[in-house]
Each structure stands twice: as structure tokens, then as C-alpha cells.
Structure 1
Amino acid sequence: MIHLPNDDATCGWYHAITKTPEKPRLTGEQTADYVVLGGGFAGLAMARRLALHAPNARIILIDAQRIGQGASGRNSGFVIDLPHKFSLEHPDPAHKQKLLKLNRSAIDQLSSLVSKYKIDCQWSAAGKYQGAVGERGEAYLDHFEHLMKDLGEPYQHINGDDLSKVLGTNYYSRAIYTPGGYLVQPAALACGLGDNLPDNVEVLENSPINNLSKEHGKWLLHSKHGVVKTPKLLLGTSIFTREFGFLKNRLLPVMTFASWTRPLNDDEMKAYTGLLDWGLTPADHAGTTIRMTADRRILIRNTYKHVDKYGASSTVNENVRKQIQDDHRKVFLARYPQLIDVPFTHSWGGTYAISRNFTNFFGELDDGVYASACDNGVGIAWGTVSGTLLADLVMGEQSESLDDIQHVTGMPSLNPPEPFLGIGVKSRISLAKWLSRSEI
């Protein structure tokens, strides 16, 4: 093991929630019927579904940090029903419809859990705006409209004053609104799900696994203070799946960054003039994502970095974060010059896995080892549905949804060796940023 999860302590979402007491760490020698590694949305769904199938089994969910501290608590809080932009261009209409159905089943599942357990996470059927600033963004928006027509999904054009009344800024020239997506406070949702798992799921936090071995048909997960043995291991470890020898040279670690303000006061809300609780993603994928949260915070997200040294040896230091925050500040003030006195309180990064062929892995990696890996940047819905169905696969439960997810997933393509991979990815990110500079 080279890289262990060790995210920065500056995530605004996580700072904003009320913390529950820490769960125990992995200590001593333990055995379990099933072990789920990774407490993000995929791992949480795996553990829940396993417990429902096998209520008498001992199921252990292990996270290297606390639930909500990792990538699942660091995204922008969009629970997207539509296939991702690249998936929307897939030539097979049935493929896109399967993705749409899978994402919507995840939204239904999460809606039910939020309601059942009264999880306070700003869960909202707010839909999503996709916005354009200028000609380049408008061209992408026209292409998106064409894809939406092919998919047969409803959408609405929002222009001029109607758009500025929502966003509180006239910076954007046009947007397309799609009604099926949800917004959420992601760290609050992850923690709420973790606090309401079935009774036969034991959660172990702050227990990074630094070695995986096999002995007499059982998998042994070794931490600094203990070991757990299991015949069935489910990995919800995203990019860290590589650290256990699986999907090596097939996953790309990318970090994206966000900053947000403190909650606006009443006078600042009057100056802002827009609505609460909306989210906008850029028509040009290298542009800026922006959200106004239900508790009056404005969030800015852009900037992508290839981080070949992620986890504990992350190359993203405080100087890099300061530069990113300065860039976010320029973006913020370009949209909201009337809020010049509103400071940012937090800036943070999160690492996720993408693949060169934009393919998600789902299935068995080795005898008794299963994984859902590589969410390609759409983690909440995909993590939830893929984790649920992976548990079904392990338990031998057949369904149309399981058939669908096996149809739309596959093997991420091989990457070129380093240093060529890093040079190529960094060059491509830099080029995309330059080309999209008018939309950032």
C-alpha cells in the first residue's frame, strides 16, 4: 500500500454538520461473513442491501476515515437522474434508457431512506440548470438540447430576466432546466445513511487497511491495530481499488475543488435577489458549477487536477489550495459583485476515479472479491444503485436492474504508462481550461 485516504480537513459540507460520536476502530482479530470496504455511497448501499438479504450474517463496514469525510461528502450535492454528458452521446438508445432507469431507482431509494429516517440533509427535488455564458457555452447547450430530444426527456429553456431571477446574476446568457435531478447536502446524507444502517452492520471508522492477503480461501484485511477475515469482500473504494492490486493502470485519479461562502444575511439576500436551493452545471464541461444552498451559501466548483500521488501523499498543498481559492473568488465576484464583502469560509478538494473509455466497473474481481469502481464523477446516484445491485450479485439475487447494470458496465481501458499518462492528462486538462476560459 502506497496511498491511504487522508483528505484535507477543510470540507465545508462536513464542517457544517453536527458530528455523532466516532465509531470503533478495527482492533484485534475478527471474522465476518461479509466485509464492505469504503463508507461512501457505494459502500453504504452495499452494506445495507447485504444486511437486508442476510439479517443473521455479521457484516462489517470499514472506512479509513469517518463516514462523510471522503469523496462522498465532498461533491457538489447533485443527485443526477440523466446519464452523464458523455453517456448521453452513446449510440444505443436502450443503453441510455437503462442508465436513466438505474439513476432514478437510486433517487427513489434515497428519497425513501431520507424520509424513513428523517435525515436532515437538505434533500430537495430542485431539478438542475445547465448554463451557458457565451457562444461556446451556447453551442454546447444546443448540443445538449439535441441529446435531450433524442432521449425523449422534458426540459425547459430559461433566458434573460427569468434566469437572473433564479440565479441572482445576469452573468449567464441562457440555461436549460431539467426537472428530474435532486440536490442534497452530501456529507449530511452520507452520515445520516451511516447512522441508520441495519443492526447487523458494524461500522468501523478511522481504520485504513494497509494490506490485503488470502489464506485458506479467506481474505484478510490488515490495519495497524487489527485484522478481519472474511470469505466475501465488497470494495467501494473508488480510486483506492488500485492499492489492492485490482484495476491497476485502468483508473485515473482526478481531484476537483470547491469553495463556499458563509450563509448570507438578510441584507445580503436582498442584494443577491435570486432564489434559494438551486444548482447549475456548465454546458461546457470544463466550466464552473455553482450552487445556492437551502441555507443561503453560494458554492463555486471548478479546477481539475490529475493527482497521481493522491491520499496521504497528495501533491495538493496549502499554496495550491490558496491559488485555487483566489481563482474561485474571481469567478464568484464576476457573478456577484454586489456580494464583495461576503467571504469564503471553506475551500476543499475531493478525488474521484475516471476511465479513458468512460466505463464503470461492476462485478467480481477475484474469487470472493467484488467491486463497483470508477463512477466517472457522478457518484451519489451511481454509487447508490451500483452498491445495491453489487450486493444482489453477491447474494445471487436476479433482477431486471441487475441485468441492466451488467449491460451498461464493463472494463475500464488500460492507461499509458507513467510519465506519459500524467503528461497527457495534465496537458488535456490545461487545454480544456484554456478553451473553456470564457465559460469559467
Structure 2
Amino acid sequence: MNLPYDDKTCGWYAALPPPRPVQSLRGEQIADYVVIGAGFAGLAAARRLAHHEPEARILLVDAQRVAEGASGRNSGFVIDLPHKFALEHPDPAHKQRLLGLNRAAIAQLQSLIDTHGIDCQWSHAGKYQGAVGERGLAYLAHFEKLLSDLGEPFHSVEGPALQSVLGTSHYRRAVFTPGCYLMQPAALVRGMGDSLPKNVELLENSPITRLERDGRGGHVLHGSAGRIRTRRLLLGTSIFTQEFGYLKNRLLPVMTFASWTAPLDDAQCQRYTGRFDWGLTPADHAGTTVRMTQDRRLIIRNTYKHVPKYGRSIDDAMRARIHADHRKAFLARYPDLADVPFTHTWGGVYAISRNFTNFFGQLEDGVFASACDNGVGAAWGTISGTLLADLAVGADSAQLRDIQAVTGMPSRNPPEPFLGLGVRSRIKLAAWNSRSEL
């Protein structure tokens, strides 16, 4: 079984204070519900289960510490709009359902942050989608048409106005959309883990290595130092869902990488001519994401890798090459900040599907899953985990019907070695075609 094996160089996590003492799985345990995976989906599912069943014993189990995995490694965008591929969907009702679900997730996160005082740089900053060359500009014009068709507000920014935001003249034009929120993902995820309801027990550093039926309608979950018996199991395990035997040959493990700088000192801030606290995604999806954080760090994110063994597919030499590529992208945008070093370069693995379809629902009797976020984990994980708990306890709602209407079964993948060859070729082709946007 391939377990999570993330690098230890995630800047978001390194910026946090030391975590509280760990509680891990030990001995024989019995629970009414078990949630595996303490990312956005698992945290939301456990919290919702506790709301529905305040007397139930709920165990939330993760192979790592909370925020060490994918949910703490993203670029810190919580986006309300449908993702680029979903925005192409021909059915307007489909896109409106996605909008409603994403905005419900944002409202839910806002409420949790306010209620529990989670310090995670949460900001209603909106989002810029930027273009560098002609290819990017063409994508940007198409994006504007899709937004107009959807009836969503946006405005174009270019020239000195754009430079005054980004602190660079590298971009020709950008489209600003107001509904996105920015945050420090590891801080948000840890904050949610630290504020779980009383009847949710969080077990970290507790990989589940095997599931088996107990012959009485339930499951036994095996760990290295203990076992759990339960009749209801919810999987918020994203790409690792396939390691438990579900959705086999339907999920593609992809890792994307980011680097960030040391915080700009006062002299460097004088040379930096932009604002603080903004985020830009590329109009061409294979381009570069850039962020300026509230604590004065610049982030560069690009480079995609097919990682069939997850973190074990990446070695130090590859990480060094990615670091060098990020440095080139940074200097192309901020040559006047060449003295600002990168302090961390990290990757995060997520699941995509060939038909860009998210899975949500019941896998078998007593087993439920939300898997394959297709790269938009913060909002989707939050709302899908919440509604998965509703499904597990039989609580109907309009939102549950909406998520069932926009999800389905990910396409089956071709066998290896053809799958790996095809994915790697497509990633290389996308990088080549998008080289002006990197």
C-alpha cells in the first residue's frame, strides 16, 4: 500500500507554531463513525457528523499531522467560480449549482474562522487571472466570454493599474473577479482541527493500512498499533481512496509545486511597487500562479508531475530542478528583487480524472467518499465533506441534491505503461505550449 509521503519543506506548515501533542491510534477502538483523512473534506465531514449525532463517537484519522498533507499545501485560494474546465460545461444550471456549492463552502469557512478565532490570513481579496503572451490573452478573452454568459461580475485590468497591484510589468492584462478569498491553508486546516466538536477524536500519525469487512455489516480498520471497528466509514482521502481498493484505475495522481520567498524586509518593500495580499492564477491553466501574502512573501507555483507513487515519485534532484525553474519565473517578474531568497520549495499531490468529474457518494454499504477534486480542493473539499456526512446519516437537502447532480464516476484510465506515458506526454506538451505564460 502506498501511503502519504510528503516532503518536509512546505513553507505554509513551517510557518506555523509547533503543533499540540499528538494522539495516535492505539489498541482496540469502536466508533459509530470513522472519517479517514483530516483535510478539508474529512474535517468538514467529521464536524457535520457531530452536528447530526452529538452523542455518537466519531474518530477522525489521518496518516500525518493535520495540515501536513495536500490541504495544507495549496496556494491558498478559496474560489467561488467553477474551475476552468467546469466553466466550459454547456448546461448553465450545472454551473449555477457549482457556484452555489462553492459559495456555501466559503460562508461555512468564514463562520468557522469567526467563531473560533482562527488566525489564517483570511481575506476577501478577489482574484486576478493574468496573461503574459498572445496565447494567454486568447485564453483570457475566452474566460471573459464565459463569465459574461454566466452573468458573473468581472473587470479588466492592464497597464499601470495592473502593475500597481502586482508590482511587475510582466503581465499584459488580467481579469479581476471579486468572489475569491485568500488564506494561509496550513493555518486554516490546523485551526479547524484544533476546534473540532467534543465528540470528534482526532488521531494523527495513524495510517490505516488495511480495511476488511467484519462479517456483521461493519468494517475493521487496521493500523500499525491498533484497530478500529465501525459500521459507518467516510473517506476524505482524495487520491489515496484507490489505495483502499475503491475507484481503482479512475484517478490520476498529479503533483504541483510551489516556492516562496523569505518575507520582504523594509528595504525590499521599497523596491517592490505593488500591493500586499493578492493572488493571480494563469489564464492558460499550465502557466504560473503568483501570490503576495499578508506577511510579505511572494509565491511562485507551476510545474506538474505525474506521481504514481505519490511523494516517493519525487527525488531531491527533481526538486532542485523545480526550485531552479521557479527562480527563473520569479526573476522574470521581479528582477529588482533578485536578492530575495526562496526559503521553501514543496509539492502537493491531488487527484484528477480524465473526464474532469468529481466522485461523491456511497461506494458500498456503509462506505461513503468524496474523491477527485480536480485541483480545487479548499471549497470543494469543504462542501463535499459536509454533504457527505448528510448523505451518511440520511439528511436530505437542496444542496445534497445539487452535489449529486454535478458529480459522477471518473473515467477509467488506460493500463500502464500507456497511462504514464500519456500523462507525462500531455504535461510536457502543455508546458511547451504554455512556455510564454511560465
TM-score range, shorter chain: over 0.9
Tell me what 1:346 maps to. 344
- Secondary structure of 1:438's counterpart equals helix
Task: Give the paired residue count.
Answer: 437
Structure 1 residues 40-95: Cα deviation after superposition (integer angstroms, max 9, x where no partner):
00000000000000000000000000000000000000000000000000000000
Aligned counterpart for 1:367 among listed residues 360, 365, 368: 365
Q: In the aligned structure 2, how far is the partner of 1:427 from the partner of 1:253?
A: 15
CA contact (8 A) 1:22 1:66 kept: no
Q: CA deviation at 1:435?
A: 0.4
Tell me what 1:250 maps to. 250
Q: In the aligned structure 1, how far is the partner of 2:52 from the partner of 2:206?
A: 26
- Secondary structure of 2:437's counterpart equals coil
Tell me what 2:22 maps to. 23
Q: In the aligned structure 2, how far is the partner of 1:26 from the partner of 1:277?
A: 39
CA contact (8 A) 1:129 1:281 kept: yes
Tell me what 2:96 maps to. 97
Tell me what 1:394 maps to. 392
* Structure 1 runs, 4 residues or longer, greater than 6 Å off: none
CA contact (8 A) 1:291 1:299 kept: yes
Tell me what 1:41 maps to. 40
- Secondary structure of 2:436's counterpart equals coil
Q: CA deviation at 1:23?
A: 2.7
The CA RMSD over aligned residues, in Å, is 0.5
Which of 215-224 and 177-186 deviates more?
215-224
- Secondary structure of 2:326's counterpart equals helix
- Secondary structure of 2:387's counterpart equals helix
- Secondary structure of 1:202's counterpart equals strand
Aligned AA (1:183): L
Aligned AA (2:425): S
- Secondary structure of 1:85's counterpart equals coil
Q: In the aligned structure 2, how far is the partner of 1:310 from the partner of 1:211?
A: 18
1:140-179 aligned within 5 A: 140-179=139-178
Aligned AA (2:303): T
CA contact (8 A) 1:130 1:176 kept: yes
Tell me what 2:259 maps to. 259
Aligned AA (2:143): F
- Secondary structure of 2:142's counterpart equals helix
1:231-246 aligned within 5 A: 231-246=231-246
Q: In the aligned structure 2, how far is the partner of 1:134 from the partner of 1:174?
A: 9
Identity of aligned residues (%): 69
Aligned AA (2:283): A
Aligned AA (2:75): S
CA contact (8 A) 1:148 1:154 kept: yes
| Structure 2 residues without counterparts, runs of 5 or longer | none
Tell me what 1:306 maps to. 306
Q: In the aligned structure 1, how far is the partner of 2:328 from the partner of 2:136?
A: 19
- Secondary structure of 1:241's counterpart equals helix
Aligned AA (1:372): S
Alignment partner of 1:214 is 2:219: no
Q: In the aligned structure 2, how far is the partner of 1:415 from the partner of 1:123?
A: 38
Q: What is the TM-score normalised by the length of structure 2?
A: 0.99
Aligned AA (2:288): T
Q: In the aligned structure 2, how far is the partner of 1:237 from the partner of 1:315?
A: 19
Q: In the aligned structure 2, how far is the partner of 1:310 from the partner of 1:138?
A: 34
Q: In the aligned structure 2, how far is the partner of 1:101 from the partner of 1:272?
A: 37
Structure 1 residues 295-329: Cα deviation after superposition (integer angstroms, max 9, x where no partner):
00000000000011114xx1201111000000000
Alignment partner of 1:328 is 2:326: yes
Q: CA deviation at 1:22?
A: 3.0
